[in-house]
Chain A
Amino acid sequence: MNKTITVDVLREPVRANHSTGLAGAEKQRFRWPLTFNCLFSRDPTSSTFFSSSMAALYEGYTLCGLAPAQNLLSSGIQGVEAERDSDHVVVTDSTRSVTLYKVSDQKPLSSWTVKQGQTLTCSAVYNSQTKEYVAVSDGKVIRIWKEEEILLDKAFKATVSSDVWRVHCVAGGEPVVLFQRGAVRLLDSLLSAPQQSIEEILAQEEVIRWSTNIVTESQQVVIFTTEQKGDHFLYLQRLNPNTLQRYRLEREEPGLSPLSFSASCRDKHICLLYLYPNGHVYQSVVPVRGLGADEGAQALLMPRSLLLALPIGEGLLEAASAQVLDDAHVAVVGVPHPSAGAGKDFLCIWNTNFQTLQAGKEMAGKIYGQLWRYSNKLFIPHGKTLSVIPYEWPKSSLASALGKLRQAKTEESKAPTSVPSWNNILHEEKAHPLRTVETRKTRTNRKSQSAPSLTNDHILELIKTAPVEEVQKEVEVLLSRMDVQGLQPSVGQLASTLVSRSLDDPTFYTPSSLAQLVHTRCLCHSVCPDLVLLALERKDYFLCQLCLQFFPDIPEAVTCACLKAFISMPDVDAEKVSVEPDGVSFMESLMARERGPLGLQNGFSPIEMDRSDSLGVGDTRAEDKEKATTPTVQICPVGLHKAVLLNEILQTAYSDSFLLPHLKDLSSQHVLLFLQYLQFLYLKYSQDAFPQMHGLRSPSLTQIMDWVCLLLDAHFTVLVMTPEAKGLLLNLHSFVKSQVRLVSELGKIEGSLQELNKMKVKKDVGQYSIEVIELF
């Protein structure tokens, strides 16, 4: 035991290197949209690029050292295969040995070697059903052994009649053997008659380039690609019943062969992803079930779609690989980081839906173009080490891809956090041997806390059962305990759990905790879709306001629901609602201007004062419509707090076509009130030349006008028929008329203005010119 510990402690510096890279990266977290690469410059202090906006690459660690070939062309590893669970892998090197590792311990558990002179020709696989390992040596000798067996030579051997390309075995499937000439056999049936004759499927000069094995609920499929005189083919060998289908891949630019393939199964279709040296990543989708009659007869052209065009810098890619992570994410290694110059030694995660770079990490040393992925770890041989890099990614959403949502993890994935640090185990935190990976900052924060408090998981459990007070207390403690970065993954979970409990249990509601969570700005509507509606239901308008303010992606329907709730709320109730102080002070300053001039008029109160109950402004106004050219509506038709809430609605993002149908649901009374309020705002803004001063959050003039237009669009016929609306409409009409007049006046002088522009153009005078001038 002691010895092992020493070894691992010695390995610590390697990990320290990785961690310094990460620490540097954590200082700045960027998003990297593909099209905006130019916006980003390389930070001179940090060599690692790390976008944590969404998908995240965690601190990597070394699984084992490598003995790369002399010419550094191959990594010395044939394959990494999954073993019994996500924490064990079998690594086969390119010569003679197979090693079983426990990943989280970075520790070999056992190792097997074939005799000198023999070579392993395919990577060993683990058959989880029989708990046996299968490997092939010297092309034809299949070896099967169990973990207890120490000497490989004494294990089971069977010699087959043709050279084996690979043995594949995935969880839930039987081991299959793929021969070099394209034949496929189940291992069991092969072993029953090892010397059975093996047919040749492939043509004379056709060779296998890559193969895999996919098991769906109904079917086991062996997929392999071949190359023949520059043409590439894909074979789909379905087992039980056996059918073979052959597809031809479309040619890329002449001379370019795919660098890597990756297959995944999605909705009964197999997605094949392949990367070309020019950086193009294509996707082809073929059904798992056969097409029927003409199978195998001739190679169909496989349709493909360009998924990504990766920036490749100068020259073509040489050693690179792309792996599907899920339907929206691809891990790519050996491709330059778009904002880090020409170096190709990066591991990047790309979002294929939005073509955005989600995370990137510089890998020290040579990249061999090999990349394996098991559960949520990526295995990359680089330089002289095989590194394990845990990653995670949330559900792909536009908000997340654009970085609007900083980090809200919706999935339960504890795995990347299960790397223990020997230092911690040995020196400080004996009580918690499986502490999650933390940034240094949180670790020190944690240390300064005297009493260890509950972890996320505990709180999640607690939320489901505990009384309101306790939940609120614990959430508060949790939030205060962590800094924002450590907090991000868990906020979404916390909010979802709180909301679902509240929905289930009418007596349970924690307004302050939810407000705190929203305040972290790590939430968005798509992460927790029920939150706003819950707040509306519980009449928690403060929370509504916060959500409107902080969520980038509130659907128009929800915005409209909020609007309806706000506008229909009696002013008396509204004044009881606590709202954001910023908005209140803005409205107060706006309304103060309304009172100011009134007070100046020596006690004379204009007629508007008499109808301070606002709803009737329109009808009295109808009488003096002759004078309506200078409307003087000075009284805010809604109360202070209500106005603040409405302002928040005005400032949310929306698209007209989605909002319009929902707006139609408003009653004409509400529309009228809202229009009056908007008119009031408009007048305030335009009459007093009142810009958005004080730096307070306030709607812009354009936002106000857009809403006026929308409301009129949605309810014009109704408003025309409503007598109370007549004055209002006339006023609005006069605004429009004045605007039109202004624009037309501007149009008249457009020519002159353009001339002004032309005059400014200054000739560039060089060192010498010959000019003609005239004096008068």
Chain B
Amino acid sequence: MGEFKVHRVRFFDYMPTAIRAMAFNSRTERLALARADGALEIFNFADNYFQEKVIPGQDGRAVEALCWVGQRLFSAGLNGEITEYDLENLRPRYTVEAYGGPIWTISSNSQGTLLAVGCEDGTVKMFEILEERIQFQRNLDRQKGRIISLSWHPSGTLIAAGMMDMIRIFDAETGRATHRLLVERGVGASKSKEVVVWSIVFLSDHTIVSGDSAGKVQIWDGVTGTLVRTQLVTKWDVLALSVSNDESSLVAGTSEGTVVQFQFISSTVGQQDKEWVRTRTFKNHSHDVRALAHTETAVVSGGMDTQLVVRPLLDKVEKNTQESALRKMTLPHRSLVCCAKKAGLLLFQFPDHLELWRLGESDGHGKPGDSLPVKRKPEKLIQLKRKGEDHICCSALSPCGGWLAYSTVTSFRLYRLQNNNISITKVSKLPKDLRSAHQLCFSPDSSKLFASSSHSSVIVVALNQPECKYLHTLKPKSGESEQPVHLLFASEDGKWLATANTDCEIHVYNLDKLKLHCTVPVYSSCPTAIAIHPTTSNLVAVHADQQIFEFSLVQKEYTEWSRKLQKQGLHSLWLERDTPITHVAFNPQNPAHIILHDTFMFCIIDQSLPLPEAKTPFYNQMTLRSLPEPQRIIHSHAFKICKNFQHLMCVSLLEDHSLVVVERPLLNIMSQLPAPVRQKKFAT
């Protein structure tokens, strides 16, 4: 197979931010997740938990709560505003000021007609949900003390509000407070501190469940306003509650990083009387669990330690299947690294700046396993701070290293780089149409820039030395998807441009004719990486369910190899991987090679070799190494997998045929987190 010189890069200090809020839409099986920097992410739980959309954050937008109303997504935050998002153009649609100070919580009634927000000034404000916007309706009785949490009764007639030291129940129609439930403070030193009711759930049988800062989960009778049961689950705070759709299971997230499950079951077998019983405790987080979602089959949790954890409930899923595996998602499902193959440069994208690095050099030769002496160390050439308060949503570096572009939701910027004497000049005259982009891509000869825009369209811009000129807007056939393009790939020969959107469509445009060449047959899973082969013009697409397709652009059909692969099926170990392939590349030296990577491995597929049978050992590099040369060929198969490098952000092949791997070890991320709450450990 061959030797590779690998530039092992660990200086990309990518740091995900803490998870603040979550909302699960059980109808569309989409999870909306808000992070501390205001960024919003949409995960498709029906499609291998693929992170299909990311709406970049904004300075000052602190999302405190999220709420789905049908397919519409609302957020509210401590800036006092309610925001509805445009999920097709990946930007906030509009923002409404609630005039009640910081907003702690947002909740819609089950009918989807009213939105209630809890404000710092003690008011619960009702907004009517209209077709295109929301409109303030009225305030409920104003209370002393902030409203921290809200929950509608499924009937829509009552609202329970968690406050400081108490819970209030309001009549949603009259706006009158009907009950006041006093929540006991913590014992000892915390006796003097107000107890905060962080989360509240109103069940259809008028049971109210509350989680508070004294570490209690309390079950109340909402009709009489009496306390039914108290369960102390932590020494710290209970921050989040979530109940399953059938109201038979409830989970509580704590500051200790645990998630405690309660189930509505009869305590003794054969008895009819059911009660809420504490059943399981999951510990998948090192820090506060700030957000929780109880899906049909799993508990989804997230918090300060930035990981999204999907913990299947083993009584709801089949055991020992892929479905029953615990998933932790830390790194994004898209590439934040751009590699200029010809210039040996790396561009790292952070929410608020870009970093341009030049790779190091070594002139030594070594045998496999060696580390070569580094003759020239890598250096950071440019750190470019973004302008404005919107975070960077995409960026690109031209293969020659001479152009750099980035976009936020409101602005687009293009820079000319001179690498010899390191200078950067902003290109001031930009085409009017180029205001913002979801995804950016330069043509391999660096003469064109492609920017995906609204409605799956792609703007083509010609880059000339003094200025850049708008050429064309490529559009799929009208009436097709409105979803944003999340993948762009321009072929090496400059003839093709491929786009993929979150509706799973892949379009290929002919750049000579500037029109749509073909659409790849739509596959049910979202493409996570696409690429066009430089010589054969075959498009390789990898999907969230780990399937690989090769589509001939000339014949407009799947290739022989692709059919063979589909017929034989991928190896089960390949399918069981739980991170998507985020990049596809080719080896110019050997046209049969396809280079792919996910977070935990990179893989070179040799199309000339037989595909692995179901029973062949899949990860066979160690075995092959130990075999004598002639025997290797008997045992080798198409998938060459290397796990030497881990938590990969990027794997790319430079023009000099050396590989660049950008690692971000999770341990480094963990070590940068703040200290968790103190816990008594045995023998400490």
Contact = CB atoms under 8 A, between A and B. Distances in A.
A768 interface: yes
A431 interface: no
Contacts of B534: none
Contact of B372 (A765, A767, A772): A772
Contacts of B6: 770-773
A776 B371 contact: no
A148 interface: no
Interface size class, chain A: 10 to 19
B5 interface: yes
Contact of B11 (A768, A770, A774): A768
B604 interface: yes
B378 A773 contact: no
B49 to A, nearest CB: 29
Contacts of B370: 771-772
Given A774-B368, A775-B1, A768 B377 contact: yes
Contacts of A606: none
Interface in A549-566: none
A769 interface: yes
Contacts of B658: 770
A776 B633 CA distance: 9
Contact of B360 (A763, A768, A772, A776): A768
B466 interface: no
Contacts of B632: 776
Nearest to B369: A772
B8 A768 contact: yes
B368 A770 contact: no
B8 A776 contact: no
Interface string B608-636: 00000000000001001100000010001
Interface size class, chain B: 20 to 34
A766 interface: yes
Interface string B586-619: 0000000000000000001000000000000000
Contacts of B71: none
Nearest to B357: A768
B372 A775 contact: no
Contacts of B371: 763, 769-771
Contacts of B229: none
Interface secondary structure of A, over-half rule: strand
Interface string B347-376: 000000000000010100111111110100
B369 to A, nearest CB: 7
Nearest to A776: B624
A147 B405 CA distance: 102
A513 B253 CA distance: 61
A411 to B, nearest CB: 43
A776 B368 CA distance: 11
B642 interface: yes
Given A768-B377, A770-B362, A775 B10 contact: no
Contact of B367 (A767, A769, A772, A776): A772
B360 A770 contact: yes
A771 B3 contact: no
A770 B369 contact: no
B374 A770 contact: yes
> Residue among A767, A770, A771, A774 with the most chain B CB within 10 A?
A770
Given A774-B368, A775-B640, A768 B9 contact: yes
Interface in B370-420: 370-372, 374, 377-378
B15 to A, nearest CB: 15
A758 to B, nearest CB: 14
A769 B359 CA distance: 10
Contacts of A776: 1, 621, 624-625, 632, 636, 640
Interface in B3-22: 3-11
Interface string A162-188: 000000000000000000000000000
B8 A774 contact: no
A772 B374 contact: no
B4 A772 contact: yes
Nearest to A763: B371
Contact of B10 (A763, A765, A772): A765
Given A765-B10, A768-B9, A770-B374, A775 B362 contact: no
A766 to B, nearest CB: 7
B644 interface: yes
A772 B369 CA distance: 6
Given A776-B621, A776-B636, A771 B10 contact: no
A185 B2 CA distance: 101
Nearest to B603: A775
Contacts of A771: 5-6, 8, 369-372
A768 B374 CA distance: 9
Contact of B366 (A763, A765, A772, A775): A772
A628 B53 CA distance: 77
Nearest to B8: A769
A768 B367 contact: no
Contacts of B9: 767-768
B5 A770 contact: yes
Nearest to A766: B10
B4 A768 contact: no
Contacts of A763: 371
A313 to B, nearest CB: 32
B8 A765 contact: yes
B7 A768 contact: yes
Contacts of B11: 767-768
Contacts of A775: 1-2, 4, 604, 621, 640, 642
Contact of B4 (A766, A767, A773): A773
A85 B370 CA distance: 83
Given A776-B624, A776-B640, A770 B3 contact: no
A773 B2 CA distance: 9
Contacts of A772: 3-6, 365-370, 372
A248 B365 CA distance: 69
A215 B220 CA distance: 93
B637 to A, nearest CB: 11
A774 B636 CA distance: 14
A775 to B, nearest CB: 4
Given A775-B604, A776-B624, A776-B632, A770 B7 contact: yes
Contact of A768 (B1, B5, B10, B369): B10
Contacts of B4: 772-775
Nearest to B606: A775
Nearest to B365: A772
B413 to A, nearest CB: 29
> Residue among B6, B8, B360, B658 with the most chain A CB within 10 A?
B8
A773 B7 contact: no
Contacts of A770: 5-8, 360, 362, 371-372, 374, 658
Nearest to B604: A775
A766 B10 CA distance: 7
A769 B8 CA distance: 5
Interface string B512-555: 00000000000000000000000000000000000000000000
A659 B655 CA distance: 79
A35 to B, nearest CB: 28
Contacts of B625: 774, 776
Contacts of A769: 8, 371-372, 374
Nearest to B13: A767
A767 B665 CA distance: 11
A755 to B, nearest CB: 15
A356 to B, nearest CB: 30
Contact of A767 (B5, B10, B624, B636): B10
Report the 3 A-B pairs with minimum CB-CB distance, sorted nearest first.
A776-B624, A774-B368, A775-B1
Given A768-B7, A771-B369, 15 more contacts: A763-B371, A766-B10, A767-B9, A768-B374, A769-B8, A769-B371, A770-B362, A771-B371, A772-B6, A773-B3, A773-B642, A773-B644, A775-B604, A775-B621, A776-B1
13 contacts: A763-B371, A766-B10, A768-B8, A768-B377, A769-B8, A769-B371, A770-B5, A770-B6, A770-B371, A772-B366, A773-B3, A775-B621, A775-B642
